Amino acid sequence: MDTIQTLRQQIDELDKKLVELLGQRFALVAKIGVEKKKNNLPIVDEKRQEEKKIALRELATKNNVDITFVEKVWDVLFKEAHKIEQ
């Protein structure tokens, strides 16, 4: 049986990976921002965001994660992405 400490260590490792992945995601977002500026495209792409939300809802359901929670997290990620792209 796993101890609380062992489980917490596993959570800590996942937290580390999540932050590393966020860093990678935002590095790509910055590159997209450069491309959008070069091509005179708007920062917010409503169609892309809606497509992404639909896919995330499906992914949340598949992984037994609350859809509302996932939507809230991605709303924050989208807002941060918009700031980075500008």
So what's the pLDDT on residue 82?
A: 95
Domain locations along the chain: 4-85
Q: Does domain 4-85 have CATH number 2.60.40.1180?
A: no
Amino acid at 52: K
So what's the pLDDT on residue 2?
A: 79
Report the predicted TM-score, pTM, of the whole model to 2 decimal places.
0.86
**Three-state SS letters, the chain:** CCCHHHHHHHHHHHHHHHHHHHHHHHHHHHHHHHHHHHCCCCCCCHHHHHHHHHHHHHHHHHCCCCHHHHHHHHHHHHHHHHHHHC
**In the chain, which residues have pLDDT < 50?**
none
